[in-house]
Chain A
Amino acid sequence: MRENKTLNKDSDHLEQANNIEVWEDVVNIKDLLLSMLICTGSAMGGYLLAPDDPQKPLLYGLAGVVIGFLISSMIIKPKRTLRFEDEEK
């Protein structure tokens, strides 16, 4: 958690940037809210709309979570940059 200094060197001159760190990765607050709304909405939607048989609501709800996850992944861009470095060993 505290070992992030090496990756953090750009933060000094970018005080205005809108992204913050939550749980070890960088997120945009607006995107985070959007994704939470989508996922919670699709999960609860699935759960509440499911037929009233035992276990059905849970299955529909889980399907809703998956759908919400896919939608969020499609509309939100990850805030990461990925580089490869060849191992020296």
Chain B
Amino acid sequence: MDLSLIMELIAVSIFGAVLYTIIGIAPGTDETAVLMPVTLILVLSGMQPISVLAFFISAIVAKKLTDSIPVAIAGIPGGVLSAPMVEHAMVLKNQGMPDVSIRKMASGSVIGTIIAVPLSLLLANLLIPFGDTISQYSNQIFFTGAVFLALMTKNRWLSLLSIVPFALLIQGLRHLYWGIGAVPEDTTVFTSFFLGITVGPIILKLLELLNNDIRKNLPRRTTNDIVLKRQKKVKGFPNPFKILDKKETGSSALASVLGVFTFFMSPAGMTIFLGEVISSRIKDPIKRATRAISSMDGVTNAAYISGILIPLIAIGVPLSPTALGPGMALFNAPPVFSEDHNLHHLLSMSDFVVATVIGAAIAISITYFVTVKYAQQICTFVFKYIPHEALLGVFLALVIMLAYMDAGLINIGGVILIGLVAGILHRWGVNYGVQFMVLYAAPWIVSNLVL
């Protein structure tokens, strides 16, 4: 490994970190929607595989650090994985502490990254001998994951019962599209359904506005009065171990370790599950919220890093929600990469280590610094100048465009349908985790229902 390659890795990592620091702040930027296309473009443009990996790692770390900002200040998820944090972040926002929640989340992210990088590399190495066997059972793993997550929620019977009908809805739409020729039979519509589930609750809310009775009964307000507490400036380079107290550090670390080991599960599901388990016994609402968001952000980072590294290193097929979504281009990007010719086959173990460490280190040093140091300035700016309407508009526009991209005009209706069902299920207590697992397992579930 020569110096010029190292310099190139550093350069692409800086590019990834800067780009996704900006994109991450914009609310509603779904991870898959913003990471996959850019990675794909880089792969197709002929960038070296090792540089693509460094870029990707830097991008996900930066994105996960900054997507806490829209959650903290607007309660809008910066991506799928920050959706579960909204509820806790709102507690802090209403106390006038959105910048505290940004700092805590960012620090949880850093801890998650520091733990996940070495642990994922280690676990991947241990799993290499079993790679082939594991890849044969991916569907069963996703299905079991859905059942497991369903049983872990408060409304477990409802969640369990929703699995098959929701799978039918997803597969039903796919077969309809194939049947009428909206997409070729070898194309499985995925990204936009994923997005439909993500925005389900807001689609439901927006459609409700069209109902006269519901609209008339909504509470009317003039303005939203926000009181920000002035925070002391963070001097020097921020230290995550000082921003989080001992308990928060401990639970973020523990949650991150579990996040790595459950790399094949839906990161959103694990985030919700671990976040609730860790925080539910704390009485004080503010303490509970800070503990929950710092741990949850740790899990999301850890789950993302392990979710991409372990399948890449040990298995070679995208057997994790992260690999199936944002990281898809690292596994399959015809004509450059295919299932038998991708990063798994092209890079050595030392390549993986070098690219990952450089990518993660650069993203943390640039993005964490900016996020923590300027949290309050960022909040003030957004509150003063960015209308909530514009954020919601962007969210809707992205959904409609990606729906159209996946399967044409008909899919706009399809995604609204999925969003509506997902939104109602969500309101009834069937969480995102269950829904995402079902999305992954749907083809297998449905094929096993016909005897």
List residues of A whose CB falls within 8 A of some B CB. Answer: 1, 3-4, 6-8, 10-11, 14-29, 31-32, 34-40, 42-44, 47, 54-55, 57-59, 61, 64-65, 68-69, 72-73, 76-87
State how many angstroms separate the Cβ of B433 from the closest Cβ of chain A.
Answer: 19
Provide the bound-state CA to CA distance between A82 and B44, in Å. Answer: 46
Contacts of A36 in B (CB 8 A): 392-393, 396-397
CB atoms of A17 and B220 under 8 A apart? yes
Known A-B contacts A55-B41, A87-B231; the reply to A79 vs B388 at CB < 8 A is yes
A34 and B389 in contact (CB under 8 A), knowing A1-B87, A18-B220, A68-B397?
A: yes
- Whether A43 contacts B397 by the Cβ 8 Å rule is yes
Cα A28 to Cα B222 in complex, Å, equals: 9
Tell me the total A-B contact number using a CB cutoff of 8 A: 202
A8 neighbours in B (Cβ, 8 Å) = 219, 221
Give A15 to B390 CA distance when docked, in angstroms: 25
5 A–B contacts from the bound complex (CB under 8 Å): A7-B224, A20-B215, A24-B90, A72-B390, A82-B228
Q: Is B430 an interface residue (CB 8 A)?
A: no
B385 within 8 A of partner (CB): yes
Minimum CB–CB distance from A26 to chain B (whole Å) comes to: 4
Contact A43:B401 (CB < 8 A) given known A3-B91, A81-B225: yes
Once the chains bind, are B222 and A68 in contact (CB under 8 Å)? no
Contact A77:B387 (CB < 8 A) given known A23-B202, A87-B231:
yes
Q: Contacts of B392 on A, CB cut-off 8 Å?
A: 22-23, 27, 32, 35-36
Complex Cα spacing A11 to B386, Å: 23
B221–A26 touching, CB < 8 Å: yes
* B394 on the A face (CB < 8 A): yes
Interface pair A40/B393, CB less than 8 Å apart? yes
